[in-house]
Every structure is written in structure tokens, then in C-alpha cells.
Amino acid sequence: MNLRAIGAIYRYEMARTGRTLMQSIVAPVISTSLYFVVFGTAIGSRIQSVGHVSYGAFIVPGLIMLSLLTHSISNASFGIYFPKFTRTIYEIMSAPVSYLEILLGYVGAAASKSILLGLIILATAALFVPLQIDHPLAMLGFMVLTSFTFSLLGFIIGIWADNFEKLQFVPLLIVTPLTFLGGSFYSIDMLPPFWQTVTLFNPVVYLISGFRWSFYGLADVSVWLSLGMTALFLLACLAIIAWIFRTGYRLRP
């Protein structure tokens, strides 16, 4: 294992966060604060609590998960797409660096940035609402697992995309709507029975449900089912990446 190569890719990608601090950290925190102001004031005044949790605190896991999903994908997809766009990817691939080491460098950096952002948003949320974390280790576990899983998805998107429009297609038009419809701002128990059944086909429901359980012990589905679905998606992403590296799909000229 070439740790120096992994470290070089990792440090380069992490340094990009410092160069784009406003876009990478400040903008998501401001957006999250606006969610608290809008949803906490407009909806929170009508929904006093969900279960034993105030509505303002109830939406915190959903907001963190929304940021984790979107930024894990965007960080990883842009990280691998930009070398393709500038043609420097061929220099990396011709270097004595294995595909696994390239993957660990890019995905590790993207996941690290997303986890850091999630922790900052968690600290920001504590300024607006009183928070409790019943299972802190489970909360960190879900955060790490989700960040790495969706960073893998972002890596796949970055290789698949051949222009900047495709790079934004999945995060904006697929992942974000699924997150909003996946129980970020409500419990699926509040829906009519038919829509509860339909919602269970949304994979993001399982992520948010498990993550919210780590905070308040509330879950729309079984915690073990949430872990199983996340692990299944992780394995699917790894299988696709293995096929990409084996065939050279959109990596070889």
C-alpha cells in the first residue's frame, strides 16, 4: 500500500477546501441556519413536537443528513472529474499508484470534508435548539458510513460525467428531492397509509431514520434495517467502481 500516494491525493483535495472556504463551509452553514429560521418559525409554531422531541430539534438529523449526502457526492464527483477535465488524470494513472490508492485518496478526502461539515452544522444547530444525543457512537458511525458511501457514489458520478451539467444532475435532481421526501422534516408516520408504503421505497428514508434514532431513539424503520440498507448500497457502489477500474470505463482515452 503506497501511503505516500494516498496522503498526497488526500492532502491536495483537503487543501481545496481551504481555497474555497466560502463555498465549502460558510454557505452550507448559512443555508442550514435559514432552514432553522424558516421551518422552525413557520412549521414549528404549528407542530409543537414529534414524539417527545420538539419540532426544531426533530429536523436537526434530517438537515445534517441532507448536507452529508449532497456534499459527499459533490466533493467526490468534482474531485475526480476535474483531473479528467484537465487531462491530468492520465498522469495519476501512469504513476506507480494502484486504483485502490487513488480511490482511498479521493473518497477519503471527500468523506472527511463531509464529516467535518456535518459536525459544524451540528454545533450550529445547538445554537438554535436544545439537542440530545442518546447514542453518540452510533451517531458518529452513521455519519462516517453515510459520508463514505455517498462519496463512493460521487466518485462514480465524477467518472461517468463528461460535462459539468451531468456532474450536478444526480445531486440536484435526484438526491435532494429524495432527501426532502425521505422524512427530513417530518415522520413518515404522519403520512396516510398508502404514502407510508410508497415512502419506504425511498432509500434515503433508512439513512435519516437510523441517524435520527441515534439522537432521540425515534425511528421510522428498524435501526438494523437502516444499517443493512446503507451497507447494501455501499457494496453496490464498490462493485460498480471495481467494474469501472477493471474495464477502464471513461478513464482510458
To the nearest 10°, report the CA torsion of 54, 217, 126, 123. -150
Give the number of domains in the chain: 1
Output the pLDDT for position 90. 80
Phi, psi of 50, deg, nearest 5:
-125, 115
Q: Which amino acid is at 140?
A: L
pLDDT in tens, the chain (253 residues): 788 888 989 998 898 777 777 777 788 888 877 877 777 666 666 676 777 888 888 888 988 998 899 889 989 999 999 888 888 888 888 888 888 899 999 999 999 999 999 999 898 888 888 888 999 999 999 999 999 999 999 999 999 988 888 888 888 888 888 888 888 888 888 888 888 888 889 989 999 999 999 999 988 999 999 999 999 999 999 999 999 988 888 876 6
Residue 72 in any domain: the answer is yes
**Residue 252 domain flag:** no
Residue 75 · residue 107 · CB < 8 Å: no
- Residue 20 included in any domain: yes
Q: Single out the residue of 221, 175, 200 nearest to residue 65, CA to CA.
A: 175
| Residue closest to 15 by CA, chosen among 97, 109, 100 | 109
Residue 148 belongs to some domain of the structure: yes
pLDDT for position 22:
73
User: Residue 54: phi, psi to the nearest 5?
Assistant: -65, 150
Q: What range does the domain containing 143 cover?
A: 3-247
Task: Supply the pLDDT for residue 41.
Answer: 65
Residue 38 within a domain: yes
| CA neighbours closer than 13 Å in the CB half-sphere of residue 166 | 10
In a domain, 253, yes or no: no
How many CB atoms lie under 10 A from the CB of residue 213?
A: 22
In this prediction, residue 166 carries a pLDDT of: 84
Identify whether 65 is part of a domain: yes
C-alpha cell at 216: 432521540
Q: What is the pLDDT of residue 253?
A: 62
**pTM assigned to the model:** 0.90
CB 40 within 8 A of CB 125: no
Residue 79 lies in a domain: yes
